[in-house]
Structure 1
Amino acid sequence: MSAATSARDPFTSRFIRNAMAQDMLDVETEHALALAWRDKRDEAALHKLITAYTRLAVSVAGRFRRYGFPLDDLIQQGNLGLMRAAEKYDPENGARFSTYAAWWIRASMQEYVMRNWSVVRTATNAAQKKLFFHLRRTLAKMEDGEIRTEALSSSVARALDVPEEQVQIMLGRMSGHDLSLNTPQSGSEDGRDWMDAIADDTAPTEERVLGDLEDRRRRKLLYGAVQTLPEREQRIIVERHLSDSPRTLAEIGADLGISKERVRQLEERALERVTRLVRTSASPAALSA
């Protein structure tokens, strides 16, 4: 649903009319309501405070419509920011609630726009956020022909005081919305969609199955060969080569009551036996037996 359609929705239109018809609060009333909510958790006071300034959410939402999101969704996000402002507002700090709430409303809508603009995160730091919300306005101020195309990103970077590399990235991200991979390719005569153009780098199913079978066969041969070793050599091979946390020669030697050099000798002899047994078991003659 487009923003224009949302604006003509009867419920949204009625909500906007009601919000704009609410009386603005004077300083004393606003302060009293904020104190009642902060100190007494008076929900009636909170309701009056929120209702009076819902017009702020409506007003800010109108400025965010240029990003192409439904107006009612933007207003809802603004109301969430308004609730957040009421929760964190300190009536003793001297600032009007309306001024404080306007910041939270904008922040809530900015977060919504960035979160839903693309499946790829558009802005992940302060510089990128600044770029996202000021890039188009900055570009609009630059008259056609005033700046060469190749110098555009550097000019924007200077104007917004952000790295040129981030300007180039953001220009690419904001060049258009995401497209479904099921969208038909333009000019395709056989109805192919973009999903058909993605190469599958994985091995064919038959190759994967055969590879898995071969891996299991080799593991079976290896563990079978290890089990033929004497108990001490079997332990050395398992703890040195088949464990997620291999132990050192010195550690194993301490457990067995022998020197680490003796452990090394036993390990070398055991590896030779295992290698010989695996090769013998994997030979064509053994496989055909």
Structure 2
Amino acid sequence: MSQALSFPLPSAVGSIDQYIQAVNRIPLLTEREEVDLATRLRDEGDVEAARKLVMSHLRLVVAIARGYLGYGLPHADLIQEGNIGLMKAVKRFDPTRGVRLVSFAMHWIKAEIHEYILKNWRLVKIATTKAQRKLFFNLRGLKQDTGALNRDQVQSIALQLGVKPEEVVEMETRLSGRDIQLEGGSDDDDERFAPIAYLPDPHAEPSEVLEQAQLSRLQDEGLSEALASLDDRSRNIVKRRWLAEGDSATLHELAAEYGVSAERIRQIEAKAMQKMRGLLVAA
């Protein structure tokens, strides 16, 4: 049986280069050893067997993660996500299928790395559908240079990937773009030209301002005319109940002032408000 765990754990090293050197020193398992360990894990839930299977394939994760360095994400993070995929593969590996773990695990490792890249490559997720994800991870390799695609190249890539030409163009635009900070930094010049400075204020748009001013004027004029149509008592009740600058008068206070019941004040108020409402609607 291989002594894969006789080496120091890679997690104990201090740098990514030391980690890579450490995992590359871990011996590979023979097919017989791999089957025995996988069988113990499946039948007995042997955690030590699972650890040996994972440890012996850490170099595979490093090799796969190296192929995704062009996306500008930390190599260590790519390896970490790939290791998660490797552990998922080990948990699901069936030694009776006649397939080596290295072949089975590649799908799970790449799937975790892909998901990590899509979530972290941009602030805004750029690939959500299956076709978009396929484009995202294949477009770079199919482009012949770093310049923009011409029409023939777009058609060729679309044909190879089985997608629409306009989808190729859209993904190339997303890939060539970059995140822009909405607000400027601490530098005054940066803040002056930050995107947030160009966002329109809907309340400051000239036509909106004029419309609101005209509406306010019409409402004020209409309210004055509606109040003028009331008798003195009704007008006073409405003003003190609804238009007072300080605390509004209560029904009982007005009732005491006019020598009537609070219910009577409520009826006068309701009738006055109904009349004013009709005048304002007509206006």
TM-score over 0.5 for the pair: yes
1:282 aligns with 2:277: yes
- Offset, 1:283: 6.1
Q: Is 1:153–1:168's contact at 8 Å kept on the other side of the alignment?
A: yes
- Residues 220-261 of structure 1, C-alpha deviations (whole Å, 9 max, x = no match): xxxxxxxxxxxxxxxxxxxxxxxxxxxxxxxxxxxxxxxxxx
- Offset, 1:169: 1.4
Q: Is 2:184–2:191's contact at 8 Å kept on the other side of the alignment?
A: no
Instruction: From the superposition, tell whether residues 202 and 51 of structure 1 become closer, same or farther in structure 2 (CA, over 3 Å).
Output: farther
Alignment correspondent of 1:153: 154
- The AA in structure 2 aligned to 1:126 is K
**Tell me, which stretches of 5 or more residues in structure 2 are unaligned?**
1-12, 220-270
Q: Is 2:181–2:194's contact at 8 Å kept on the other side of the alignment?
A: no
Pairs within 5 Å for 1:116-127: 116-127=120-131
Aligned residue pair count: 205
Q: Secondary structure at the match of 1:124?
A: coil
- Offset, 1:18: 0.9
Q: Secondary structure at the match of 1:104?
A: helix
- Offset, 1:282: 2.8
Q: Is 1:138–1:159's contact at 8 Å kept on the other side of the alignment?
A: no
Over 6 Å off, 4+ runs: none
- The AA in structure 2 aligned to 1:154 is Q
Alpha-carbon separation, structure 1, partners of 2:166 and 2:203:
33
Q: Is 1:65–1:71's contact at 8 Å kept on the other side of the alignment?
A: yes
- Offset, 1:177: 2.6
Alignment correspondent of 1:40: 44
Instruction: From the superposition, tell whether residues 149 and 183 of structure 1 become closer, same or farther in structure 2 (CA, over 3 Å).
Output: farther
Q: Which protein shows a greater Rg? A: 2
Q: Structure 2 length as normaliser, TM-score?
A: 0.64
1:88 aligns with 2:83: no
Alpha-carbon separation, structure 2, partners of 1:77 and 1:170:
24
Instruction: From the superposition, tell whether residues 143 and 69 of structure 1 become closer, same or farther in structure 2 (CA, over 3 Å).
Output: closer
Instruction: From the superposition, tell whether residues 143 and 105 of structure 1 become closer, same or farther in structure 2 (CA, over 3 Å).
Output: closer
Q: Is 2:182–2:194's contact at 8 Å kept on the other side of the alignment?
A: yes
Instruction: From the superposition, tell whether residues 201 and 91 of structure 1 become closer, same or farther in structure 2 (CA, over 3 Å).
Output: farther
- Residues 168-204 of structure 1, C-alpha deviations (whole Å, 9 max, x = no match): 21011101331211247xxx69833121112233689
Pairs within 5 Å for 1:54-65: 54-65=58-69
Alpha-carbon separation, structure 2, partners of 1:97 and 1:202:
63
Alignment correspondent of 1:174: 175
1:53 aligns with 2:57: yes
Alignment correspondent of 2:7: none
Instruction: From the superposition, tell whether residues 190 and 62 of structure 1 become closer, same or farther in structure 2 (CA, over 3 Å).
Output: closer
Instruction: From the superposition, tell whether residues 283 and 170 of structure 1 become closer, same or farther in structure 2 (CA, over 3 Å).
Output: same
- The AA in structure 2 aligned to 1:85 is A
Q: Secondary structure at the match of 1:177?
A: coil
C-alpha RMSD of matched pairs (Å): 3.2
- The AA in structure 2 aligned to 1:53 is H
% identical aligned pairs: 32
**Tell me, which stretches of 5 or more residues in structure 1 are unaligned?**
1-8, 215-275
Instruction: From the superposition, tell whether residues 143 and 280 of structure 1 become closer, same or farther in structure 2 (CA, over 3 Å).
Output: closer
- Offset, 1:24: 0.7
Alpha-carbon separation, structure 1, partners of 2:51 and 2:117:
27
